[in-house]
Each structure stands twice: as C-alpha cells, then as structure tokens.
Amino acid sequence: MDKKKAVYQREDAGFVRVVDEFMTYQSQVANTYDRRAIEALGFPRNIKRVLDIGCGNGHHLKNLKALFPDSSWVGIDINSQLIKKAGQLHEGSKDVTFKNISVFDYKPDAPFDAVFSTITLQYLADRMDDFFKQLDLFLKPGGAVFFFESEKSYNAIYPKNPSLVRLCAAIDQVVMDPCITIRIPHYLEKYGFKDIQYYPLIFNQYNADPDLYFKYLEYAARVTQIMAPAEYTAEDLNALLHIIRDKEFKKGMIYNFSGAYVVAKKGAAS
C-alpha cells in the first residue's frame, strides 16, 4: 500500500510527461462514458460550484465542466507539476481555479454543490474514513458526489497471456487498489449519504473503437512501467508493445478494463 500511496509523489520530468499524456488520452476515452453515466443516473445538471479532488492535469475536469452549464470549478491535487499543467490548460478561464494541496488539508471557504473524484480514491484506500469526513465538510446538505474508479483486472484476461498477466499483476499490486469501487457505497452509507447508485463499466476492443482500445492499453502499460519499474520492467513493456501490434493476437484476445461510477447525495441537515 505504501508504494501505491507514493505513486503520485514523483514530480520528475520523465514521470510527469508519461502521466500527463496518459491522463490526456484517458480523459478523451472517459468522455463518452461519463456522459452516459450522468444521463443514466440522473445526476443533477444544475450544480454551480463544483470541486474536483485529484484533478491531475485538468483535462478530465475540462470535459466534465462542459456538461454543466454556468458551473465554476475548483481542482485540487497534491502533485505540483500536474496542477501547474492544469493551470496552463485553463489559463484565462475565470470560472476554474486550482490549488496544490492534499484533500486531507483542504479547507474550502464555502461548501460545494457537488464533488467529483475520478481514479484518485485508488491512492487513498488506507484513509477512507478521513476522506469521507472531508467530503462531508466539502458538501452542502443535499450536495452530490460523483466517483469513477477502476477495478481488479486480472480475472478479465483470456487467454492468460503472460504479457497481459504481468501488466495486470503490476497494476493491481503496485499501481492501483483493485477493490476500491465496491468499498465506496459502504463508506457513503456510513457517512449518511442517500440515493447511492452504482453503475459498472466495461471497456474492451469489442464495445469501443479497437484502435482507441489498443492505444489505451499501450498508455496503461507505459504508465505502469514508469510507476512500478521494478515490478513491470522495460522488457515487460516491450514484450507487450510487440504482441499488441500482432493482428492474430488481437483477434483472439479478451481483456476488459472494468470500473464503476458511484453517485450519491449528502443527507439533508438534521
């Protein structure tokens, strides 16, 4: 768990470049699924003041903001280099501000209508109580939360190709917490949230554009290599890049990236 917590403490140029590219690409992929989830779950469209916890380079925030007219956003992140990139991306925008701070230290001037957090709880899995106590402070009564997190991937590989197995093992063991999504509803309930809804997502080459999917797989492997170089070596990465260029391999492969959206509302003040 310590390794996972430390993943985003790196701020060297090589790390920031690979992560920045991955986040930018990932936010494009997420766009369609976010829209679908927001629609299907009846997530409120009239939110005005919004917080994004773990906003990274600000690309995902930009796409999300576009779905909520007249909303103003605050993005917070512990990584000073990523938040700098977010500031550059949104330069000149009056209704977006960024703060380089940990979620555990942030004290907003006023509570928000909604809080978003995507693929960030993964890195805070050993401080779930602290996180949900903070969330309570961040939100107005009746305010909405929106999470997206990914899930354990190992079981979703067929056949058990050694290259993919090594990638999934490194992701699950070192990079991300594979069981986070199923824990979120429990914590929401514990901290008095209502209308908790869970919306699973599976992303693979059969339900998305295959080129987009294989590009995603490549980015996931590159980012895993830089985050966990001892567990996922440069040779591992090269082997994977080699097989995903092979048409025959692609035809026979099944590998699902899975995840879930979770939305809920903070209970009204008693």
Ligand X SMILES: C[S@@+](CC[C@H](N)C(=O)[O-])C[C@H]1O[C@@H](n2cnc3c(N)ncnc32)[C@H](O)[C@@H]1O
Q: Is 76 in the site for ligand X (CB under 6 A)?
A: yes
Determine, following the binding rule CB under 6 A, whether residue 78 of this chain makes contact with ligand X: yes
Rounded Cα distance, 180 and 119, in Å? 10
Asked if 81 is part of the footprint of ligand X (rule: CB under 6 A), the reply reads: no
Nearer to ligand X, 54 or 143 (CB): 54
Q: Which is nearer to ligand X, 133 or 242 (CB)?
A: 133
88-127 footprint of ligand X as x/- string (CB under 6 A): --------------xxx-------------xxx--xx---
DSSP code, position 267: P
Least distance between ligand X and beta carbon 241 (Å): 22
Rounded Cα distance, 39 and 5, in Å: 33
Show Cβ contacts of residue 177 under 8 Å, excluding neighbours closer than 6 positions: 1, 4, 121, 122, 123, 125
CB atoms within 10 A of CB 98: 23
| Piece in contact with ligand X (CB under 6 A), picked from 35-43, 72-80, 132-140, 185-193 | 72-80
Q: Which one, 121 or 164, has the nearer CB to ligand X? A: 121
CA distance 64 to 52: 10
Dihedrals φ, ψ of 111, to 5°? -70, 160
Residues forming contacts to ligand X in the complex (CB under 6 A) are 8, 23, 26-27, 53-56, 60, 76-79, 82, 102-104, 118-120, 123-124
